[in-house]
Structure 1
Amino acid sequence: MEWSTRPARPDQPFGSWADDLAAAFVRLEPRRIAEESFAGAICKVDAAPLQISRVTASGHIVHRLASHIAASTDDLCFVNLQLEGLGRTSQRGHEQISAPGDLAIADTTQPFEIAHRHHFKLFCFAVPRRLLRDTLFDRPRLGLSATETGRALSRTLASYAELCLSGGRLATTSAMLGTHIAELIAHAPDILADLAAERVHTPVLLSVMLDHIARHSDDPELGAPALATKFRCSERYVHRLFASTGRSVGEHVNEQRIAECTRALLDRTSAHKTIAEIAFAAGFRDISHFNRLFKRHNGLAPREFRRAAAH
């Protein structure tokens, strides 16, 4: 579902935006911050048990008023993941400032204000309140952008949101992703509290470790020992986490490396590089091991694959 507005009349600065917000979320009242033209767009998808929306708009304020709440039966929380711009969410006398990568929570059963002075973009996760722990509402501070682990969690949430919004998702797949997103959000404070790994909810920690592998697969030292050191847990615990995926840590790492090498061999700008240079740059140390893995994944040896891709 999609909504967009670009008002043409000066006496209606938001056009249909209030109705668009109500259709996509709950009844809200938009208010101007500056005398500038407004444009806004919302793209929304159901990912039971929650709904995911991408909101892009010019700077403005939205209010959830007591009159809106009195006429509503909704029991939702908005968990907003800031993508662009700077946001300010005020509720119950508490203020949350959101830079890109941060989360902010707004409970729709009580009045709130969300303000963006300039153009912004965010993902809004509309989550049933019952799925979130009460501790999330006690003066929430979810500045994920402040730590490396928090940033990894932020990227994971954004990736899942993009997957759901990209279209073509089966209902069962969207529901699976939606359930996992709700778990990640519910346990975000554990990540930010810098707890020992064994005390962090398993799906959260596994997602963060997978994100780390995706970004650092070119590190020749990357493996279970490196993950154990990075996330302050035992190697045994790392192996137990990855057992739930059906693949070992090494298999996840090698899959990332092979994918990177495959892209490089298909890229004409890398034609001057030797296969060994490509393999070593991706994190492999043993060229024979790389050749075997590459053929297992792609059906051809690297040299044959490059030759076939060139024709």
Structure 2
Amino acid sequence: MLLFDTTPLPRADRAEAFRVAMQEASASCRVEPRDEPAAVQARVQLFPYGTAALLATDATRFRMVRTPRHLARDAAPVVCLAFQHRGRGEFAQLGHEQLVRDGDLVLVDMAAPYGFACATGGGSRALLVPRDQLGLPVDVVRRATPRLRASPLHDLVRAHLQRLADDAAELSADPGAAALGAATVELVRALVVSAAGDPRHGPAVREDTLVARVRAHVARHLTDPDLTPAAVARAHGVSLRQLYKAFAGAGASFEQEVIGQRLEAARNRLSSPAGRQRPIAAVAHACGFADASHFARRFRGAYGMSPREWQRTAAGR
């Protein structure tokens, strides 16, 4: 979703419009362009992934500051995990200062003052996660901020966020976007706990990490005919036994995860304007079901009505 673009604006209005757009897109803050107002260029987009969202900002040089005064105006119980898509950034919060290069992740507690500067111009990508969805105490998040690079999960999560950003338009519009967002939040949680080195949360997160990775993988490959336990285990460098054990430890099963995501994707498609006009078998196939009868039985078992009944109900809304 495009939130802001300076292109159609008069040059004299661009700097002020950018300030307003950044405050509305994230949280109350002070935005200071580092170029002449007439030279300011910016484009801001927001892509929803369930309860999380990806904020994509491409702009000429600027500095953003969030002060105690801004906090009093806007509590913003949000945690942000960001990286530079292009250019170089400078981040400072609670005594931690970080030069942000292309391969680095930055963890920002939006409930504390901070400063960020895009010194060269370029682009940043930020995953915004509600704190209650992350489910971690404030002290764990803040302890992790200066130690992200020390975690063995850093590069894994960085690569995952890069994929979310590169294909954001397609992935955020997919029926599996909410499930993909939930799996991404689990990965972020794992990274934060790993970086913080907090033994109170470590064991549970270690068990969940593989499950979160697999759930995200499933969301991206729902229509893949080779989405089998063996293929997924190979893709993640684990044995079938490890895969099944990880899901059992999370109180789930791999097969039910795949079926559940495919059913939810089909239900969303059937209720969409385009999906209400499509044959049931076509929707089933598009969501990874090879057999329409099998799909119909699974759908009724999950939602208490047939796919056709759901489609008709959606059409009558």
How does the TM-score come out when normalised to structure 1?
A: 0.60
Alpha carbons 1:55, 1:121 under 8 Å: kept = yes
Q: Secondary structure at the match of 2:176?
A: helix
Q: Which residues in structure 2 correspond to 1:193-204 (within 5 Å)?
A: 200-204=205-209
Q: 2-side partners of 1:139 and 1:78: how far apart?
A: 12
How does the TM-score come out when normalised to structure 2?
A: 0.59
**Alignment pair present for 1:237 and 2:224:** no
Query: What is the root-mean-square deviation of aligned Cα atoms in Å?
Result: 3.9
**Alignment pair present for 1:136 and 2:141:** yes
Residues 111-139 of structure 1, C-alpha deviations (whole Å, 9 max, x = no match): 21111101222221121122332312125
Mark the structure with the bigger radius of gyration.
Answer: 1
Q: Which residues in structure 2 correspond to 1:53-64 (within 5 Å)?
A: 53-64=55-66
Alpha carbons 1:102, 1:142 under 8 Å: kept = no
Q: 1:75 to 1:200 in 2, by over 3 A?
A: closer
2:68 is matched with which residue? 66
**Alignment pair present for 1:152 and 2:152:** no
174, 177, 184: which one pairs with 2:177? 174
Q: 1:156 to 1:204 in 2, by over 3 A?
A: farther
2:228 is matched with which residue? none
Q: Secondary structure at the match of 1:114?
A: strand
Q: Secondary structure at the match of 1:74?
A: coil
Q: 1:70 to 1:210 in 2, by over 3 A?
A: closer
2:237 is matched with which residue? 227
Alpha carbons 1:80, 1:103 under 8 Å: kept = yes
Q: Which amino acid aligns with 1:227?
A: G
Q: 1-side partners of 2:254 and 2:74: how far apart?
A: 42
Q: Secondary structure at the match of 2:141?
A: helix
Q: 1:176 to 1:139 in 2, by over 3 A?
A: closer
Q: 2-side partners of 1:168 and 1:223: how far apart?
A: 25
Structure 1 position 64, deviation (Å): 1.2
**Alignment pair present for 1:101 and 2:111:** no
Q: 1:154 to 1:207 in 2, by over 3 A?
A: farther
Structure 1 position 80, deviation (Å): 1.2
159, 181, 185: which one pairs with 2:188? 185
1:82 is matched with which residue? 84
Alpha carbons 1:153, 1:207 under 8 Å: kept = no
Higher mean C-alpha deviation, range 51-60 or range 237-246? 237-246
2:19 is matched with which residue? 18
Q: 2-side partners of 1:157 and 1:192: how far apart?
A: 17
Q: 1:149 to 1:210 in 2, by over 3 A?
A: farther
**Alignment pair present for 1:27 and 2:28:** yes
Structure 1 position 162, deviation (Å): 4.4
Q: 1-side partners of 2:205 and 2:51: how far apart?
A: 22
Q: 1:92 to 1:148 in 2, by over 3 A?
A: closer
Q: 2-side partners of 1:127 and 1:211: how far apart?
A: 16
Residues 2-34 of structure 1, C-alpha deviations (whole Å, 9 max, x = no match): 111256445x56140011112211222111335
